[in-house]
Structure 1
Amino acid sequence: MITGWFTGEGDGFRLLGTRCSSCASVFFPREDVHCRNPHCAGGTLEETPLSRTGRVWSYTDARYRPPSPFASDAELPWEPYALIAVELAAERIVVLGQAAPGITVADLAVGMEVEAVEGVLHGGGEAESATTWNWRPTGAAS
């Protein structure tokens, strides 16, 4: 699990970001040291749950095995997957993530609504799998 990046399970699953108390800028991944807004003098950074749904801003497919240092089990067959950039309107940010299993670029369109769901990042074997997030079109089967 990526500690501090999300919370909950099932319908309660949410990505966690931070919001600056001074300028209200939202950051994901979270920022715990200082406000990243260059026009802000800085304020307290407070953990904030992000919108559960957003709109596809862009997408592509990953058709190659990632190089080191990324975790990838060379013993397993490679399966391409879709990457999605999702605009969270309320937070005014774009969050990247992998599509949920079974979702391909053929299932996606710019502007369609997607939701953050719990996912599993597979690494170099069962012991290296980690809980993460995926994006899934709203209304798509689990």
Structure 2
Amino acid sequence: MVTRWFDGEGEDFRLLGTRCARCAAVFFPREDGFCRNPGCAGGDLVETALSRRGRVWSYTDGRYRPPAPYLSDPELPWEPYTLIAVELAAERMVVLGQAAPGVTVADLEVGMEMEVVPGVLGTDPENPSTTWTTWNWRPVGVTA
């Protein structure tokens, strides 16, 4: 079984989690084996699309090249990136992700409204036509 963390395009792009049919707890990353709620013995978990929007809970910049399995070409100069923790609107859970290209810590404030958008993690060096995708956070109202 292939585990999907996100699906869709444009306005339909969503992170995918799971919801326990018994206690309604929502999980991201998804959980497909058992309910992680310690007070629930449920195990029937259903894939569910998460909120597209939330608010900045925290953020920071990454100024170092992370180790494998992170993908980066050691021949290219290192480019800092921005990490954002966003509290999802309906689920009230915090999801971490990279900022969309061009969004820096100078553009952010705690409480600012964000939306999830498709992102590119990298390409397969052995097969450049293969692109690895991910999600990014972007301030609402900002276009790429």
- TM-score, L = length of structure 1: 0.92
Q: Superposed, which structure 2 residues align to 1:104-119 within 5 Å?
A: 104-119=104-119
Q: Superposed, which structure 2 residues align to 1:59-78 within 5 Å?
A: 59-78=59-78
The structure-2 alpha-carbon separation of the partners of 1:112 and 1:58, relative to structure 1 and needing over 3 Å to count, comes to same
Q: Is the CA contact (8 Å cut-off) linking 1:73 and 1:123 kept in structure 2? A: no
Secondary structure at the aligned position of 1:46 is classed as strand
Q: CA deviation at 1:127?
A: 5.8
Structure 2 residue runs without a partner (length 5+): none
Secondary structure at the aligned position of 1:11 is classed as helix
Q: CA deviation at 1:41?
A: 1.2
Which 4+ runs in 1 deviate beyond 3 A? 123-129
| 1:141 matched to 2:138 | no
Q: CA deviation at 1:13?
A: 0.6
**RMSD, aligned CA:** 1.6
Q: CA deviation at 1:75?
A: 1.5
Q: CA deviation at 1:40?
A: 1.0
- Code of the aligned partner of 1:14: R
Q: Is the CA contact (8 Å cut-off) linking 1:71 and 1:124 kept in structure 2? A: no
Q: CA deviation at 1:124?
A: 6.4
Q: CA deviation at 1:102?
A: 0.1
Q: CA deviation at 1:123?
A: 5.8
- Code of the aligned partner of 1:15: L
The structure-2 alpha-carbon separation of the partners of 1:26 and 1:7, relative to structure 1 and needing over 3 Å to count, comes to same
Q: Is the CA contact (8 Å cut-off) linking 1:26 and 1:91 kept in structure 2? A: yes
Q: Percent identity?
A: 72
Deviates more, 1:42-51 or 1:118-127: 118-127
- Code of the aligned partner of 1:136: R
In 1, the alpha carbon distance for the partners of 2:123 and 2:83 equals 17
Secondary structure at the aligned position of 2:77 is classed as coil
Q: CA deviation at 1:122?
A: 2.1
The structure-2 alpha-carbon separation of the partners of 1:53 and 1:87, relative to structure 1 and needing over 3 Å to count, comes to same
Match of 1:48 in 2: 48
Secondary structure at the aligned position of 1:106 is classed as helix
- Code of the aligned partner of 1:140: V
The structure-2 alpha-carbon separation of the partners of 1:124 and 1:76, relative to structure 1 and needing over 3 Å to count, comes to farther
In 2, the alpha carbon distance for the partners of 1:6 and 1:98 equals 14
Aligned residues: 141
In 2, the alpha carbon distance for the partners of 1:75 and 1:119 equals 23
